[in-house]
Amino acid sequence: MNFDLSLYLVTDRSLSLGRPLIDVVEQAVKGGVTMVQLREKNCNSKEFYKEAYALKKLLVQYKVPLIINDRLDIALAVDADGLHIGQQDLPYPVARQLLGNDKIIGLSIENKEQLHQANQWDVDYIGLSPVFDTSTKTDTAKALGIQGVKEFTKLSKHPSIGIGGVNLTNAVDIIHAGANGLAVVSAIMSQSNPLNAARDLQSIIQTTKRKNNNEKV
């Protein structure tokens, strides 16, 4: 399945300034978000299913993939485009077997050992986590920093996104270090105008990628 990792939105209802999640996501997609991961840590399965179903219905119109965080059952139930798993979730080979080869599976990577393991698998992308310390996710490993992103992207066989403390001020550095895209939470979810926030980030990403390509020529 073809997909574009450049601007990857990870949802968080608690950061949406009281607005309906679906409205924030639609504005973000209109502004340039290319993938959406639905992350829900504080709701029951029925609520998660309903939210995922509504988002899938919306995103299909924009041809933007819906990725479900952690919950393989929800991904299957709504026929989501993929699943994102962390190191404490269902093992990747099991997730692939149950989800099938035509779905996207992303895997969070926090250290070199995990990176080398991911290189043995046919994961679709890796999430370099966290690039910087962040308040939106507290159970993360030590921050990789820009140097870590450089090192990990050189070693990885898979495309990657940087996640954790990503915003307008550090977007250029992360893409310049080799990441294929940026995964953001509050940099879009908590902005008064999600469309403009996404547009500004996407503009930075594309400009930096063009410069990177020119430097390689």
Q: Which residues pair with 66 in a beta bridge?
A: 36
- Residue 104: in which H helix or E strand, if any? strand 104-109
Q: What's 18's DSSP letter?
A: T
How far apart, in whole angstroms, are the C-alpha atoms of residue 183 and residue 161?
6
Residue ranges of the alpha helices (H) in 102-193?
A: 112-118, 145-155, 171-176, 186-189
DSSP output for 19-56: S-HHHHHHHHHHHT--EEEE--SSS-HHHHHHHHHHHH
Q: Are 92 and 115 in contact (CB under 8 A)?
A: no
The alpha-helical segments, DSSP class H, found in 68-185 are: 72-77, 92-99, 112-118, 145-155, 171-176
Distance of CA 42 to the CA centre of its chain: 19
Active site residues: 39, 108, 137
